[in-house]
Amino acid sequence: MKRLWITLTWLVFSILILIPLVVLATGAFGEGTSGFIKALARPEALHALKMTGLIVLVVTLLNGLFGIMMGIYLVRATWLSRRLRQLFNSIVDLPYAVSPVIGGLMIVLLLGPDTIVGAFFEQIGFKVVYAFPGMVIATLFVTFPLMVREVMPVLQELGTDQEQAASTLGAYSWRTFWQVTWPSIRWAVIYGTILTVARSLGEFGAVLVVSGNIINKTQTATTLVYQDMENFNVTAANGVALVLAVFSIGLLLLMERAKKRKEVH
Amino acid sequence: MNNTWIRHKGWTWGFRTTVLLYFLILIVLPIAGVYVNSLSDGWSAFVQNIADPIAWKAVLLTLQLALVATVINVAIGTMSAWVLVRYDFPGKSLLNSIVDLPFALPTAVGGLMILVLLGPHSVVGRAASALGLDLVFHQPAIVVAMVFVTFPFVIRAIQPLLEELDTSAEEASYTLGASRALTFFRVILPAMLPGILSGAMLAFSRALAEFGAVVLVAGNIPGRTLTASVYIFGEVESDNEAGAAAVSILLLTLSFLILWLINLVQTRRADT
């Protein structure tokens, strides 16, 4: 019985995850190493990877900072009523329930060229939708809960004793933050950062809707994979996808490490 | 230290306002915007958009396929969680680490992997077509894509419960002469049930929303292989934003309900 279950589990994991990964890797090298390099050296591929990198950078910075602050406020802010904090707390999770495509649609509806705000920005020469800012906003929306949700439980568990002690001893609140709060949430922040990077690296639906997927302009790595597949350029799609997969696996390994450290402290 | 200028009340106030504004503008405004936008032309326009057979059939199909994917996930997820917690075997830690891979991988890459694995030129695809089965661009591939992206939910929800479960309850059951099956259904399954439920609901809501993996493997034939999220994408592409928004709020409301149910299950568990 026990053997059967173990074999079945191995089978499920192999069919669903391991074999597809191997097929993807062999597919990327289907035309030899030169085919793989050629797929990646295309100008549109390089541009797409650069766009993805930029989005990851901006989104991780913004949502990292604001996510930490929001997490702290939701747990600690005495200047917000309990009710309001509970309400905000449930709103934070909403992007999880929103399909990425709908996330993208929201941005188009609010900031598209036909809207008041969009038209205003267009007039002053600042394109939002079908351009970089819109793609960043869409990714910000999708990844917002990740950091907040990592920081909050640690702060809740920690309690306010140490921070209060520090404050009564006369430490300034920024110093309290750096010397008392920060060391305890550090690993949660690192974990949240890795999650945010992984999610913004792989964001597809929201970005596809907002960007318009314009080659060499607003195309990201994931939307390039999509376009390559639509054009039946399978080897090229596999090549770009393999690069993304390698990054994701690397991030997954980092996550395992961070998780262990997070539990130790 | 003389940093009274930072200590000034205005700074604190400005800082707090900035963070809250960021949150409200980024999260609340867009969600409210879709609802307002879709209902601003009145209910009849909304109903008309939903009554489009292509639209409601896409939503219905998505519900059906997501349900099938969830049932499959409950079965293989419960088994995998059980095996990963209770048994020792070669490769255990490897399997345990790759459980989360579907979360880490871009969904478009996940879709591509399934497409290449099951495609007409692959071993599986050829075997299936020899048997007269169509996989890719048909419903089975959509279900596989949904199962793939939601695979970690059930496992990760059950694992901590199984680890917490005291083996003495099981042993007591055996000593009292209960059979293996009886022990499983009376002792082990009830302990896993909250995890199975919340994992299944999370998987279901994610499967409903899934776009990246599905759009690559689905044939997008209205009524047969066109899911709700792909329909929304198509409507945006063809500049019918009102139609897209109508289906969106249908899907959104459904997802919010599920999210609320999950919270209910989890807080209830925390209370007991």
Q: Where are the domains of chain A?
A: 41-264
Chain B hits for A27, Cβ within 8 Å: 116
How far apart (Å, rounded) are the C-alpha atoms in residues B100 and A249? 10
In 10 A of CB A209, how many CB atoms?
28
Q: By three-state DSSP, how is residue A125 classified? A: coil
Q: Is the pLDDT higher at A189 or at B168?
A: A189
**Is B30's CB within 8 Å of A101's CB?**
no
Query: What single-letter DSSP state applies at residue B8?
Result: S
Query: Averaged over A156-169, what is the pLDDT?
Result: 74
Q: Which residue of A has its CA nearest to B217?
A: A229
The pLDDT, as a whole number, for residue B1 is: 43
Amino acid residing at A173: S
Q: Sorting pLDDT into bands at 50, 70 and 90, what band is A57?
A: very high
**Is B84's CB within 8 Å of A9's CB?**
yes
High-pLDDT (> 70) share of chain A, %: 96
Beta strands in chain A (DSSP E): none
**Highest averaged pLDDT of the listed ranges A44-53, A156-165, B42-51:** A44-53
Q: Sorting pLDDT into bands at 50, 70 and 90, what band is A263?
A: low
Q: Which residue of A has its CA nearest to B90?
A: A6
Each residue's pLDDT tens digit, A192-245: 999 999 999 999 999 999 998 888 889 999 999 999 988 888 889 999 999 999
Unique residue bearing structure tokens 């060229």: A113
Nearest to B31 among A94, A100, A202 (CB): A94
The pLDDT, as a whole number, for residue A230 is: 87
Each residue's pLDDT tens digit, B149-164: 999 999 999 999 998 8
Residue to mutate among B29, B94, B116, with most A CBs inside 10 A, is: B116
How far apart (Å, rounded) are the C-alpha atoms in residues B81 and B156? 8
Contact between B248 and B232 under an 8 Å Cβ cutoff? The reply is: yes
Each residue's pLDDT tens digit, A138-153: 999 999 999 999 999 8
Is pLDDT above 90 for B267?
Answer: no
CA B183 to mean position of chain CA atoms: 31
**Is A202's CB within 8 Å of B105's CB?**
yes
Amino acid residing at B162: L
Each residue's pLDDT tens digit, B193-209: 989 999 999 999 999 99
Nearest to B251 among A17, A99, A255 (CB): A99
Residues 6+ apart with CB under 8 A from A132: A51, A54, A55, A218
Each residue's pLDDT tens digit, A100-133: 999 999 999 988 888 888 888 888 888 888 899 9
Contact between B72 and B147 under an 8 Å Cβ cutoff? The reply is: yes
Chain B hits for A156, Cβ within 8 Å: none
Q: What is the mean pLDDT of chain A?
A: 89
Nearest to A245 among B95, B105, B122 (CB): B105
End-to-end CA distance of chain B: give it in Å, rounded.
50
**Is B232's CB within 8 Å of A99's CB?**
yes
Is pLDDT above 90 for B231?
Answer: yes
Contact between A81 and A159 under an 8 Å Cβ cutoff? The reply is: no
Residue to mutate among B236, B254, B262, B267, with most A CBs inside 10 A, is: B236
Q: How far is A182 from chain B (nearest CA, A)?
A: 18
Contact between B146 and B213 under an 8 Å Cβ cutoff? The reply is: yes
How far apart (Å, rounded) are the C-alpha atoms in residues A116 and A264? 52
Which H or E run contains B184? none
Contacts of B259-265 with CB under 8 Å at 24 or more apart are: B259/A93, B259/A94, B259/A96, B259/A97, B259/B205, B261/B201, B262/B198, B262/B201, B262/B202, B262/B205, B263/A90, B265/B194, B265/B197, B265/B198, B265/B201
Residue B109: closest CA among B208, B213, B206, B211: B213
**Is B106's CB within 8 Å of A203's CB?**
yes
Each residue's pLDDT tens digit, B108-121: 999 999 988 888 87
Contact between B61 and B68 under an 8 Å Cβ cutoff? The reply is: no
Enumerate domains of chain B plus CATH numbers: 50-271 (1.10.3720.10)
The pLDDT, as a whole number, for residue A264 is: 56
Contact between A141 and B30 under an 8 Å Cβ cutoff? The reply is: yes
Q: Sorting pLDDT into bands at 50, 70 and 90, what band is B5?
A: low
Q: Sorting pLDDT into bands at 50, 70 and 90, what band is B259?
A: confident
The pLDDT, as a whole number, for residue B6 is: 52
Chain A hits for B212, Cβ within 8 Å: 100, 204-205, 222, 226
Domain A41-264 sits in CATH 3.40.710.10: no
End-to-end CA distance of chain A: give it in Å, rounded.
40
The pLDDT, as a whole number, for residue B9 is: 67
**Is A16's CB within 8 Å of B215's CB?**
no
**Is B87's CB within 8 Å of A2's CB?**
yes
Residue to mutate among A84, A94, A101, with most B CBs inside 10 A, is: A101
Chain A hits for B6, Cβ within 8 Å: 174
High-pLDDT (> 90) share of chain B, %: 45
Q: Sorting pLDDT into bands at 50, 70 and 90, what band is B2?
A: very low
Q: Sorting pLDDT into bands at 50, 70 and 90, what band is B3?
A: low
pTM of the model: 0.89
Q: How far is B251 from chain A (nearest CA, A)?
A: 8
High-pLDDT (> 70) share of chain B, %: 95
**Is B26's CB within 8 Å of A137's CB?**
yes
From the number of C-beta atoms within 10 Å of its C-beta (0-12, 13-18, 19+), residue B162 rates as middle
Does ipTM come in above 0.85?
Answer: yes
**Is A106's CB within 8 Å of B98's CB?**
no
Q: Which residue of B has its CA nearest to A238?
A: B112
High-pLDDT (> 90) share of chain A, %: 53
Nearest to B115 among A5, A105, A229 (CB): A229
Query: Averaged over B168-186, what is the pLDDT?
Result: 82
Chain B hits for A249, Cβ within 8 Å: 101, 104
Query: Averaged over B8-16, what is the pLDDT?
Result: 76
Phi–psi pair at B35, nearest 5 degrees: -65, -50
Nearest to A101 among B108, B117, B233 (CB): B233
Q: How far is A183 from chain B (nearest CA, A)?
A: 22
How far apart (Å, rounded) are the C-alpha atoms in residues B269 and A162? 30
Q: How far is B243 from chain A (nearest CA, A)?
A: 11
How far apart (Å, rounded) are the C-alpha atoms in residues B72 and B74? 5
